[in-house]
Amino acid sequence: MTDALELDVLWQEFHRVVNMTSQELATWLQVSDADEETEPLPDQAGTPTGQHVLAILQKRRTDLTDDDVRIMYDVVDTVTEEADIENEPEPEQTRRRHQLMTIGHDPLRP
């Protein structure tokens, strides 16, 4: 696992880029995973990464596992690389926004 200082920085950065609450993320995962004929169980909705982000949001920093830390790094890197969607065509902006929302980041929020 990472040292305490590095973990503090990661924790802060993760919570900066994940700008949706756990309730908003859970709702989004359910909505994005539903279709006309089926709707997943709440604890099974969304991608595995989205579910993991949701679980991390519900944890204390002292309860993080090595797998949690790995996911947090992945989410921070993904959001940092993909968040600038302003100059893309509208369909691409919407698609990318929805992808980022599955990991807890809504690029339309300040």
pLDDT digits (tens, 9 = 90+) for 8-53: 999 999 999 999 999 999 999 988 755 555 555 555 557 889 999 9
What is the model's pTM?
0.83
Which two tokens mark 84? 């600038």
Residue 57's pLDDT is what?
97
Residues sharing a CB contact under 8 Å with residue 96, sequence separation 6 or more, in sequence order: 82, 85, 88, 107
DSSP letter at 46 equals S
Distance between CA atoms of residues 22 and 37, nearest Å: 26
**Which 3 state secondary structure label does DSSP give 33?**
helix
